[in-house]
Every structure is written in C-alpha cells, then in structure tokens.
Structure 1
Amino acid sequence: MTPVAPTDRVLDLFHGVRLTPTQRRIAHSLVQHAASAGYLSAAEVAELARVSQPSVTRFAMALGYDGYPALRRRLREIVAGGGAVPAPASGPAGNELQRAVRAEVDNLHQLAEQLADLGRVTAAGELLAASRPLPVLGLRAAAPLAAYFAYFAAKVHPDVRVLDTGGSLLADRLEQARAAGASALLAIVLPRYPREALDALREARAAGMSVVAITDSPVSPAAEYAEIVLPAAVGAQLVFDLHTAPMALAMAVLQAICDAAPADAQRRLEEFEQSATRRQLFVG
C-alpha cells in the first residue's frame, strides 16, 4: 500500500471544519508546505499566508487546539508518522519534466480515489442539468477549462453560457443568466484565485443560485461560496501550473450531467450527429 502523502495528511486536519476566509488562507499555506509545516513558527506561517500572527493562533484554536504550539506538534506527528512516498515503479525520479508529469499522474490517482464516492459529483450533475441556462464561470487560468467544458456541455444541454471575462460585463452576464432562469452555476476557480471570480460567486449565491466549484483544494477561497466543492490538485512543478486533474474532473461532472437526464442527453447527441453528418463537419 502506498503511504499517504504529507499533503493529504495535513489536509485531513481541516476536513469537516468550517473556516473563515482568513483561516482558509492559513490552511492552504500549510497544505502547500506540508513537509515542513511542523517546523514553521507562527510568525513564519503568518508571513506565508499574509495574515497576522494572532490569526494563526485563532486558526489553531478553531481546529480545537490550545494554541499554535499544540497544532505544530500535531503537524510534526502526522507528517513524520506517514512515511515517504516511494519513487515510481517505472524507475528513478528523472528530469524536471518527468517529475512534473509523474506528479500529475499522482494527482490523477488521488482524483480516482476521491471519485470512489460519487455522491458529490452526482449531486452536482443533477443541479447543473436542471439549470436553464447553465452559466460556466472560468477567469484567467481557468478560462480555457471553462471553454473546453462548455464546448462539450452544449451538445447535451440546451443553453450553456461561458463567463470567461471579468469587469462590469461579468456582473451583467451573471444577472442576465439569473433573469433567464439559471438556478445553478459551475465555477472553475484555480490558483491564483481571481478576486473577480470570488466576487461573482458571492453575487451568485446572493441571487439564490447554487454554486458548484471545481477548485484545487477543499480549503481554497472558492469553498466559502460553493454549495458543492469538487477538489482536484493542480500541478505546481513547472513555471506554470498543470491542470490535468481539474480538466478530468470537469469531464466527470459533464458525465454526471448526462447521467442526470440520460434521455435528453441522448436525444441531443443524436440530433447533433445528424446535423454534423448533413453539414459534413468532420472528415473521419
């Protein structure tokens, strides 16, 4: 059995705990520095998370500890007790690019284990399938993923609207979707988390829409505004992030949308294929 990675063991500390946005920033910083988390002072954690040192103390108490020293002892215990993750069976660690790709493989394995429980994905599919129209939010780094999802979702859903630009137009388009009957929003929110994306989630919830968030961690800032949080780790080994697992999760959500209304999905797919054949869209 593969030992649990330090990141996962630290993340387990926060499951089921309702954290404030500031506390989520602290938790996210500890997850990002899982291997050394148990050796950081409160001041160092505060600097990493860009919060005050008293906020770190309050964070530890929110988790049920007397103060940060007690939490730090626990962090040392869980990191030291889990052992190291072995090198891949395929051979040595390899060069930087190989390590980055292997880390993405690990992220996909983690996502596969997470999907053993289909409850949240199934619930997300039902919410999104019922929304007419279906707005899909993705700003900055998440914009290509939102467009990729929407391209395929439009084949099985009658009205998919991509929200991939910020500014005042984003609020306009969100209001228009709600006025047209949208009951749910799919938001893809990835590091570095755009402030406009979080503002849009806040506005969507205030307007009565359910929010399904695909994000990199259960303690990401998007979690505060989402009814259903679907995490998928982002690769951070290269200069720019790798989004392999979030893209796979997005397509799993689309599968859940199809499963929520299989007859409608099949009918729309058949109609598209007939249209594609008539217009000779593809050569193969």
Structure 2
Amino acid sequence: MSGTSGAGANGGTGGADSPAARLQALFEGHRLTPTQRRIAHSMVRRAPEVPFLSSVELAELAGVSQPSVTRFAVALGFDGYPALRRHLREVTPPEPAAGTDDRNEYQQAVLAEIENLRHLAEVLADPAPVAEAGRLLAGSRPLPVLGLRAAAAQAHGFAYFAAKVHPDVRLLNEGGTMLHDRVGAAVRAGATALLCFALPRHPREVVDALTHAKEAGLTVVTVADSAFAPVAKVSDLLLPAAVGTGLAFDTACAPMLLGRVLLEAMCDDLPDAQARLEEFDAGAVARGLFVE
C-alpha cells in the first residue's frame, strides 16, 4: 500500500480489541492492490457482520467481483475465502444475548463515537506522525486545505482556525474544473504541502486532485476514515480517524478532533502563533466582535 499510514493503521471503529481493530491488524503488513484495499475498507466498515458473509455477499458489499474476494483472502495468507471467514469467526467474540442491551440506536451511536475517540487517543500515544504533519503544514506558504462533500465541513473548520495563526491558508471546498487550477495556483505561489480531509463516500475528484497535487510536487497530508481509504495511495502521510456508521449519515467526531490536534501541532511549529492569536483577540475586543 503506497503512502505513509501515520498515527497507526487502525482507522476502524471501536477500541483496540474491537472487530474493526482486529481486522486492521490482520491487514497490516500486506501490500494490497487498490481493489483489495477497497475490500479491506468495506470489511472494516461492516466489521461485526463480516465473519458471517459469503464471498458473494462481501463482493457485493465492496462492489468487486467474487474472484477478487478469493484473491484477497489468498493475499492475506489463507487458502481461500472460507479459511479467512473461519479465522474471523474464531477470533470474533459472541454477540450479547438478545435483550441484554436495551440502549436505543441514538445511545448506541454516541457510545460508538466514544469508542472511536478512545481509539484515537490510543493511536496518539505515538505523537510523531502528527508532529511531522504539523511541521509540514506550518512550513507551507500558502497552505491549501482540501475537503469536498462530506469532508467539506472538516476542511472549513480547520481552515477557519488555521487562518488565525498561519499567514496564508487557502480553503478548497468546491470541486469542479477549477479545482486543479486552484491547486496549481497554490504551487506557483510557493506551497509545499496540502492538507486533505477525506471521508466516505470518497469523491473521485478528491483522488484526482491529490494525484495532481503530488505530480505538482506537493507533500500530501490526509486525514481519512481508514488507512485503507481510496486516498491512501495518493497521500504521503495518512492519519486515520474512524467515522461512526450507526446512523443514517456517518458521524465524524474523531476526524474533527484529529483536525484540532493537527492545528495544535502546526502552532507548535509557528513561532509567532501566540502573537497572532493575541493580536486577533485584541482586535476582536476593540471591534466588539463577540458577545460576552
């Protein structure tokens, strides 16, 4: 798998012993093709039910052919998909008996997000990847920040706060034919790195834009929902943070928090960050910008 998967490779939901985390551990160390990464990503997102899916069902879930699922299992070192499924069943603890958990779906979604945050805290025990990302972002003038569709809010939030300490932040939150032009303009202005937020469902134009950015010489730092996301192959440093999938629309508390952690790391490499914040605060008071 190309690209550097920083902050650990476990981008699935749940804690270190969750079904998703066990799947991530199984995939680590294997060089997977783009199709195989797609299968792995689908398995992580539906980790609790994967041990009970047929190869045909998994193929439909991932949008690939059934032979691709078989080749994927062989790539992981198993004789075929039945052997892989047998292994997953052996390492998957039994589900709680019916009626033992009376929490409603809203509570369960919140608890799942708490587990995502708990897992992110465990991953950040090694701060080196985030510190490296902060150094790259702080040193880029200008700093383009990309996020489309579901990830647009994450990119906007990061750019809003980053602009208070970084001298030139350029938000790229609209796709279309102008996106490559705006990336190119940032490169011509002196940019050396690009930060991307990438969340499901992953727009094709994000992958295309990151490919263009790398070809133009930018170092791509990506916050994604999984180390097996489609953007992994076009990222130099990928920082995974799981999304919640218990509701009709994904929830992204962990990616948002990881974005704030990146802001902190970037501030650590901007010597005038504190002075800029104090200048902003003084101006806000003078203008009566905020209601006390």
Cα deviation 1:196-238 (Å, max 9, x = unaligned): 1111111111111111111111111111111111111111111
1:178 Cα deviation (Å)? 1.1
TM (norm. structure 1) is 0.91
Q: Residues of 1 paired with 2:22 and 2:96: CA distance? A: 12
Which of 76, 98, 115 pairs up with 1:63? 76
Which of 280, 284, 290 pairs up with 1:282? 290
Contact 2:39/2:62 (<8 A) preserved:
yes
Aligned residues: 276
- In the TM superposition, 1:133-144 aligns within 5 A as 133-144=142-153
Q: Which amino acid aligns with 1:212?
A: V
Contact 1:5/1:85 (<8 A) preserved:
no
**SS of structure 2 residue aligned to 1:185:** strand
- Tell me the residue number matched to 1:41: 54
Most deviating of 55-64 and 220-229: 55-64
Q: Residues of 2 paired with 1:247 and 1:254: CA distance? A: 11
Consecutive unaligned residues of structure 2, counting only runs of 5 or more, are 1-14
CA separation of 1:35 and 1:209: change in aligned 2, threshold 3 A: same
Contact 1:3/1:85 (<8 A) preserved:
no
- Tell me the residue number matched to 2:278: 270
1:273 Cα deviation (Å)? 2.0
More helix by share: 1
Q: Residues of 1 paired with 2:103 and 2:73: CA distance? A: 38
**SS of structure 1 residue aligned to 2:120:** helix
Which of 19, 24, 28 pairs up with 1:6? 19
Q: Residues of 2 paired with 1:227 and 1:107: CA distance? A: 24
2:67 aligned with 1:54, yes or no? yes
CA separation of 1:136 and 1:96: change in aligned 2, threshold 3 A: same
**SS of structure 2 residue aligned to 1:234:** coil
Structure with more relative contact order (C-alpha pairs < 8 Å, separation 6 or more):
2
Q: Residues of 2 paired with 1:159 and 1:165: CA distance? A: 18
Cα deviation 1:237-282 (Å, max 9, x = unaligned): 1111111111111000111101122x22112212222322332222
1:85 Cα deviation (Å)? 8.5
Consecutive unaligned residues of structure 1, counting only runs of 5 or more, are none
Contact 1:3/1:84 (<8 A) preserved:
no
Percent of counterpart pairs with the same letter? 58
2:229 aligned with 1:220, yes or no? yes
Q: Could you list the structure 1 runs, at least 4 aligned residues long, displaced by more than 3 angstroms after superposition.
A: 83-86
- In the TM superposition, 1:125-274 aligns within 5 A as 125-261=134-270, 263-274=271-282
Q: Residues of 2 paired with 1:85 and 1:187: CA distance? A: 39
Q: Which amino acid aligns with 1:5?
A: S
2:39 aligned with 1:26, yes or no? yes
CA separation of 1:277 and 1:233: change in aligned 2, threshold 3 A: same
Q: Which amino acid aligns with 2:91?
A: I
- Tell me the residue number matched to 2:85: 72
